[in-house]
Structures are given as structure tokens and as C-alpha cells.
Amino acid sequence: MMIKVNGENREDFDGKTLSELLCGLGYKTSYIAVEMNGDIVKKDSYSTVVLNDGDSLEVVNFVGGG
Amino acid sequence: MKDTFKLGNHEFTSRFILGSGKYSLDLIKAAVENAGAQIITLALRRATTGNVANILDYIPKGVTLLPNTSGARNAEEAARIARLAREVGCGDFIKIECIRDSKYLLPDNYETAKATEILAKEGFVVMPYMYPDLNAARDMANAGAACIMPLGAPIGTNKGLATKEFIRILIDEIDLPVIVDAGIGKPSQACEAMEMGAAAVMANTAIATAGDVPAMAEAFKYAIAAGRAAYLAGTGRVLETGAAASSPLTGFLAD
């Protein structure tokens, strides 16, 4: 059972919600945006989206840039 | 009357857009304040896990965030980054960067125009970074751009207004704010762009690589304000040949 987060495999999140994963990995939701299997997940859905084996997540935030 | 310019439905009095790349988070607040900037650019990248400082905590409240699409090589990638940036929840401004050329980092105007069309339709305030080409600028304007952002010189070079004559054409022909972005290395160059009638100047590397970051941000603020004031005043004419005395040519003392 693997969930890919920013290219890294993560275990132990199968059946958990996206909120639980983000919180477990230490992300603060007000700073980030999430794409799951290529689709954006709205912030108000984090607590209802359930993760399944093979899901791939991109978690992004702002950094300095020109 | 206040001298303002508009991007979408938003009105700004500061004509200095500040980049936030390549200097420490601790300097950002002072740089923004010294610059008097109301818009600051950001990039979007994969988030690192754990309790790391986030740039959003260092930007003074009330400053408009302008995410860029750096890293995008075509319109589809730019649109993907733009949608994610909006989802963070800091507004709908987007600076489009579509760059395939990794040596000179020149923007791809064709892909940029396509991205402009896609994102303008989705309600973004689209600010396309572009190579100063009149036809491409017209395409971007027709596609719904809120402004155009022609480069003065390749990104990060501090070489100044190498494309001056072409930016002049854009200012003359395009009925949108023309914001000179990239390559501006010194306050004098920012001032010159403003004297020419640019609506605003964006700078990052010039500030980030200066000896004193906040002090250089302030120097740019004055230069941009001076250039704007000169543009509004109308610069004096240039004589092709000869000279013209400034002092009266009568009333000289007798020999």
C-alpha cells in the first residue's frame, strides 16, 4: 500500500483522509494547494477525500520568486 | 487626482513590482516596505514537509500576491501552475512565464499567448511575461491580458533596457499597462523605463544581488517615482545640432 506524495512513497495512509495525511506530514493547509492524480482538490474537501493505494499527490506552496 | 494604474479591477498607486526570489525571508518585509511595493511576485514549488517557515508569513498584509508560472514550458503547464496557485487562496493574479530555453531563459511568446487566453477565460488577472514583440503583444491583449510584461534584458542579467526601442513601440501601440520586467539592473534603468511611459517596473535580481537589499529597494522606489513624474511632466526636447543658451542673450556687460 503506497501513496506517492511529491514523488516520494508514503506508507500507512491507505483509507485515511487527505486531511489526516497532510496533518501527519506536517503541512499547514492554509499555505498549500493539492493535486491528486492530476486534479486539484479543493481545500474544503480535504477532510472528505479518502486515499487509496496508488494515489499520487502533489503538494505545493509559495516560495520566493521573480 | 491620484496617479494610479489598474490591473483587472484592482487599482495601484505604487508602480514598483518587487520580486521575492534569491534573498532571505528575513529581508522581505523590509524590502517590501522600503520599496513601497503593493505587488510582490512569488513562485510555486513542491512543499517540503515539517515545520518550515513560509514566505506568506513574511509579506506585509495588504500586499497583492502575484504568483508566477516559472517552471512551465508550455501553455498547459502554465495553466496547471496557475490553477494550483489560485487554490492556495491568495487571489487570482498570475504572471505567466512559459520558458523552454534554458540558456537565455527567453519566454515563448506563442505559448504565453495561448496560456493568456486559457487563464483569462477562467477569470485570472493575467500578466504575461513576454519578449517585446508587437504582434505577440496584440495577441496577448486580444486574449484578455490585464497588462503585458516585456523583458528589458534576459532574466537575472541586470543588463538594463537592451530592448528599449521595442518596448517603446509596445507603449505606443498597446492599450494596456506595459510593465517592464526582467533585466532591469539599476535604478537609473528603471527610471528610464518610466520616463518612456511604462506603467510600472518589476525587479528582483537587481535588489537581491545588491550590497544592501532594503536600501536598494528604496533606491528603486525613488527612481521609479522620479521617472513617472518626468513622464507626466513631459520631458524637454533634444536639439539635433548646435546649442541653446539657457541664460538671456541680451543685457550683457559692455566690453
> pLDDT tens digits, residue range A22-36?
999 999 999 999 999
According to DSSP, residue B171 is labeled H
Residue A10: the pLDDT is 92
Axis-axis angle for helices B164-173, B134-142 (nearest 10):
40
Does the beta-carbon distance from A27 to B49 stay under 8 Å? yes
The one-letter amino acid at B8: G
Mean pLDDT of B85-91: 94
Decide: B15 and B224 in contact? Cβ < 8 Å.
Answer: yes
pTM listed for this prediction: 0.93
Q: Look up B95 and say whether it is catalytic.
A: yes
- CB-based contact B43 A61, cutoff 8 Å: no
Q: Check CB contact of B44 with chain A, cutoff 8 Å.
A: yes
**Fold for the domain defined by A3-61:** Ubiquitin-like (UB roll) (3.10.20)
pLDDT band at B49 (very low <50, low <70, confident <90, very high): confident
Mean pLDDT of B51-58: 88
Contacts with B172 (C-beta within 8 Å, 6 or more apart), sequence order: none
- Does residue B182 contact residue B155 with C-beta atoms inside 8 Å? yes
DSSP classification of residue B103: T
Chain A residues with beta carbon closer than 8 angstroms to that of B47: 6, 27, 31-32, 59-61
Determine the Cα–Cα distance for residues B54 and A66; give it in Å rounded to an integer. 16
The interface predicted TM-score of the complex, written ipTM, equals 0.95
Closest-CA residue in chain A for B27? Answer: A64
Q: Which helix (H) or strand (E) holds B10?
A: strand B10-12
Q: Which residues have C-beta within 8 Å of that of residue A15, sequence separation ≥ 6? A: A50, A51, A52
Portion of chain B with pLDDT greater than 90, in percent: 95
Mean pLDDT of chain A: 94
Domain edges within chain A: 3-61
- 8 A C-beta contact, residue B128 and residue B68: no
Taking every pair of Cα atoms in chain B, the longest distance, rounded to a whole number of angstroms, is: 86
Q: Return the SS3 of B23.
A: coil
Considering only CB atoms, B44 lies closest to which of A7, A25, A60, namely: A60
Q: What is the CA radius of gyration of chain B?
A: 20
Average pLDDT over residues B149-161: 97
